[in-house]
Every structure is written in C-alpha cells, then in structure tokens.
Amino acid sequence: MKQPVLPDLLRPGLRLVFCGSAPGAVSAARGAYYAHPGNRFWRVLHEAGLTPRRLSPHEYPLLLGLGIGLTDMAKHASGNDADLPPDAYDPEGFRQRILAVEPAAVAFTAKAPAAAFLGRRTGALPYGRVEGLLGFPAIWVMPSTSGQASRFWDDRPWHALGAWFRGAAPG
C-alpha cells in the first residue's frame, strides 16, 4: 500500500480535526503540515486562541495534546490544488478516518476539500460553520491559509472557530 505524504494526526477524543487539500511541496519536503513560510496556519491558530503559543510546523504533533488533529483529503499526492491528479482526493477514505476517531468537529482549511467531501461547488460554500451530514461531526469551512490564497484571506471565520473551540460560542 502506498504511504501517505504526511501521516494523519488522529486519535479518538479530539475536539477538532483540520483537513487540508494535500501537503504543498514545501510541507512534503519538510515532513510537516503547513510548512511553507508564507502559510498563515500556525499564526492564525495562535491568534484565534486554538494554541497557547505560535507553534512551528515541525511541532505539529503537539496539537494532539490540545485536542486537535490533522489530515488531508489527498493523502498520497502533494502540490498545489491545480497540480493534483484528478483522482487525488479520497472523500470516502476521509469520511472513514473521521468516523473512526469521532471528533466534535472538522474544519476544512480551504473550500476545495470541503466541496469534494460535501459534493458541492466551492462557490456554494460559505466560510464558517456549514450544514454537514447526518451522523458526521460539525463541519467548518475556513479561508485557506496558503499565501497563494491571499486575496481570499479573512481571519474572522478562524476567530469564530477559536471561540467555539474554547467554549465561548455555541455550536
């Protein structure tokens, strides 16, 4: 069986699991999630109150201790979304991985993996909490933290997610 580009960071009892499209080239090369220097992921996690300090990409395993997991929709491919093979996304494999660990919520770190999983067009998805699937954890769709998605950047959904995570917001 083909090895994933990055290992899942999953276990039962998590409060939140982030799901990206696929590791970018820098993340794949460094063996760490969201490792490109221009990626906002680690900064916004801290700013939104999801982590007590700004973690560096190689510290990603520390997220488990905070009740946070990581995975990708494409486990066996890396690169920009536009460069991924047509069959790179595995929505059913993602669903099985999430149902096996039963987190309270899943947050997609971009619209593309959320759209692939939910079977919706990216333009039809709002940012923030969205209607999900019966029997599946709560679903959030976040603006991409990639530097290539700067024109879409809005940290407000990230702060709303942080408030929910800390128990300061319903949901």
Q: What is the CATH number of the domain that holds 98?
A: 3.40.470.10
Give, for 17, the enclosing helix (H) or strand (E).
strand 16-20
Residue 11 falls inside a structural domain: no
Contact 94, 71 (CB under 8 A): yes
Mean pLDDT check: name the lowest of 11-15, 66-70, 75-79, 130-134: 130-134
Calpha distance 125→131 (Å, rounded): 10
- pLDDT surpassing 80 at residue 142: yes
- Residue 55 falls inside a structural domain: yes
Cβ-based neighbour number of residue 137 at 10 Å: 20
| Cα(140)–Cα(114) distance, integer angstroms | 9
Q: What is the arithmetic mean of pLDDT over 73-102?
A: 94
The verdict on residue 1 lying in a domain is no
Q: How much is the pLDDT for 30? A: 97
Q: Does the structure show a pLDDT above 70 at 38?
A: yes
Check pLDDT > 90 for residue 32. Answer: yes
Supply the mean pLDDT for the chain.
93
Split into its structural domains, the chain has a count of 1
Q: Within a domain: residue 10? A: no
Q: Are 138 and 170 in contact (CB under 8 A)?
A: no
Identify whether 92 is part of a domain: yes
Give kind and range of the element (H or E) at residue 19.
strand 16-20
**Residue 5 covered by a domain:** no
Whose tokens are 């801290």? That residue is 46
Is 2 a member of any domain? no
Range of weakest confidence among 2-11, 57-66, 149-158 = 149-158
Residue numbers of the domain that contains 142 = 16-165
What's the rounded mean pLDDT across residues 144-164? 88
Check pLDDT > 70 for residue 149.
no
Q: What pLDDT is recorded for position 131?
A: 87
Would you state the pLDDT for residue 152?
Answer: 73
What's residue 6's pLDDT?
97
Residue 144 lies in a domain: yes
- Dump pLDDT digits (tens) for 78-92: 998 888 988 999 999
